[in-house]
Amino acid sequence: MIKTIPGTTMAYSEKVKTEAFSLISPILTATGGLTLSQLSKLTGLGGSTIQNWIKRGWVVNIPGKKYYEVQLIRILLINMLRGTMQLENIAILMNYINGKVEDTSDDIIPDIDLYNIFCSIICELDEKRIFESDGIRATIKEIIKKNDSYVKEQEQILENTLFIMTLAYQSSMIKNQMEQEYERLDINKYKI
């Protein structure tokens, strides 16, 4: 069961199923951009982690002390995948689908649409309790078909990328559940 808006610490809302980022964007509007501490609270990430991702070129660097939509969305996507994927592989996957981080002209899909579609997929799979490959792929195809603005070769890239992202996200959720269950065991006397 999804408890937070994916990639954030904010409580889950049914609106995540269709327009996840619309739940977050009012915060950006109200604040005129997020400070590093606000972004840390929103994502649950340390400030040094966020700054490292920007320094490494995984998130676009905009001069100033505020973080805006373009940075936030990429940070949310990376945050959703980092539980089981290596950060370098996440960066490569993001480049595969959307090219260079600072150049949106080479994007197959805007990051905001990628985030919203990814959240829709996660919600649909969670609701239907789908964890097997064929069901995941069918759900991805179904959700992508609702937006037919991608040419065929781009659609296949998008499907493959979303499939990998979904597997990483589901694996991370299962890993977190395993760790929580492990912590509940009374095993202190068995430690080596």
Question: Per residue in 16-25, pLDDT tens?
Answer: 998 999 999 9
Cross-strand pairs, 11 = 4
Say yes or no to pLDDT of 1 above 90.
no
Task: Report, as an integer, the average pLDDT of 146-158.
Answer: 80
Q: At 66, which amino acid appears? A: K
pLDDT in tens, 53-87: 999 999 998 888 899 999 999 999 999 999 999 99
Range list of H helices, the chain: 16-19, 25-31, 36-43, 47-55, 69-81, 87-98, 111-128, 133-145, 152-184
Long-range contacts (CB closer than 8 Å, 24 or more residues apart) made by 98-104? 101/57, 101/58, 101/59, 101/60, 101/74, 102/60, 102/61
pLDDT tens-place string over residues 97-118: 998 888 888 889 999 999 999 9
Question: In terms of Cα–Cα distance, which of 132, 185, 186 is closest to 163?
Answer: 132
